[in-house]
Every structure is written in structure tokens, then in C-alpha cells.
Structure 1
Amino acid sequence: MNAFIAAMQLSVAGAFVSIPVVRSRFGATATAAAHAELRRQGVRTTVLEENGMRFDAGGHETWAPVSIAAVLAGTAALNLAGISWAGVLNWIVLGVVLAINCVILWSNLTATTSVQAAFARKGDAELARVDVAALLKAAESGFPRWVWVLQNARHVIVFGTAGLALTAAALAA
């Protein structure tokens, strides 16, 4: 059972690592497309950086998923080593990972309204007129179409395999 749980954790870790891998490969193209859209709208392209918007693998777009993957790999190693308290860690780590993935999914689903609200809070007239939907669509066009499939597959893998690992942990208890 420990090997199964470890395999599920490593699958989830791989899913999280896919985020910075894709962003490092295609993020510059997405950023260029977003800049082009901002120029088309007559808005300064620096608004992305000024507001912490990134489409590449910089900042939290790398350290967060890599850190999550590292914690999952560590917990998987504890499971494979048969450490008695790994079971408790499974519940904690996988529970937190599921919660984090819910936030990521929510963020993906509400990106347009979230960015619009963030821009509105700034009180900057130029930001207020940004067509955020067009901006995000332009950035999305910088990624290959298969990235959308990967993004959704990643959610299925995280929710499904974490759920399977928790079910296995419950059966093993």
C-alpha cells in the first residue's frame, strides 16, 4: 500500500512540475502576445510587471509548484521507507495539496474577473480601460493548444491521484 501511495504522490508531484516547465518553454511567447494586445489597446506594456502578472516561469510560478513537488517526493520517500508516521503526513500533505489545487482551479476559472478587480483597486485610469478578457486571451494564444489539455489533465491527475492516495491511506489505517 505504501508503494501505491508513493506512486500517487509522485504522479501529483509530476503534475505540479509541469507548470513551470510549460511556462519556461512558452511564457516568453505568451508575454509577447500580451504586450502586443496591450499596445493594440493603447496601454503601456509595463502594467504586467507593475502588477505582478507573469506568464513565464518566474517567481511563484516556479518556486510554489516545485516546492509542492519536493514535499510530495519527500513524503513518497517516507512511504517507501516504511516510516510509521508517513501515514499522518499523507493526510496533511495530500489534504493541503488538494486545497491548493482547488485554489489554482478557482484562479483559472475566475482569472478575468480577478484581474479586472485587481486593476480596478489600483485606481489607475489606464488600467481601468484594459480589456482584460482580450489580454488574457492574447496571452493564452502564446501557449500551444495542447497546454489547455495539459492544464485540465493536470487537475484530473492531482484530484484523482491524491484522492486515490487518501483512499488507500484510509484503507491501510
Structure 2
Amino acid sequence: MVVRGLWNFVKRHRKKLIASGIIAGGIWYALRVYLPRAQQRMFDELMKALQESGSSSDDNKAQQRGRVRFQENQLVSDDYARKGLRSYEPKHAGCFKVDKCQQEVKEAKGKDKKIIAFKALQEECLSLLASAVYSIHVNLLLHRIINNIAGREAPGSSGAREALF
């Protein structure tokens, strides 16, 4: 009788018992078989990465020296660009008539004439600004390119800063 009741219980809950068995077996497999293999694989990858990083420290030092040399070249080129901009600024400002437009705004009598003069001043200022930004970038890029080429031609020389120009 007990066996018959147990057998009927198993028949009624057959799908649940099969699913529970599959889940329990999957958990057992994951803990006993898959987890140790995954841990071993990750440990091997970690050891390999540590060995590679130890041997690449010389590469890192060389990259860092190159980066420092590049930054020094950039600073030198920026200094030369600043020197060139001092003489360039008056020439550039002479190409625009901002002062004349300011005088026209001050001297304009009617509201419509003031608005027209002010719009002309805005256009002149914006064109001066756009031209200045473009000129500065072109000047900086030109000097950086020249210094980077010169820096590549004379790598490792202690007097590279004096040799650039």
C-alpha cells in the first residue's frame, strides 16, 4: 500500500521530478566539473598575462621615453608658434575694420542706422574671431609638424632642442 501510494505520487508529479533531477544534475556538474576547469583556465590566462607584462616593461619604458620626447617637441613648437604670433597679430588685426565699425555704431543717430551698424560690427568681429582661430591652429600645426619631423631626424641627441631651429 505504501509503495502504491508512492508510485501514484511519482506518476502525478513525474514532470516536476524529472525537471528537479535535471536541475540538480546540472548544479552538480557545474560545481564538480566545470568550475574547477574554468578556474584553472583563468589561472593559466592570468599567469600568462603576468609573464607577458614582466617582459614588456622594457617596451613600456621605451614608449614612455618616446612620449616624453614627443611632449618636449610639442612644447618647443608651441614656444616658436607663440613667438610667431606676436608679429602676426598686428598684421592680422589690420585686415579687419573693427575700430571703424565701432565708430559707426557710436555715431549712428537713428535706431535703424544703429542696428545696421551694429550688425556690420558683429559680422566684422565674428569674421575676425573665425580668422584668428583658424590662423592660430594653422600656425600651431605648422610648427608642430616641423618640430616633429626635425625631432624624428635627430632622435636621442641631447641638444635636440637647440638643433630643432
Q: Taking structure 1 as the reference length, what is the TM-score of the superposition?
A: 0.29
Q: Taking structure 2 as the reference length, what is the TM-score of the superposition?
A: 0.30
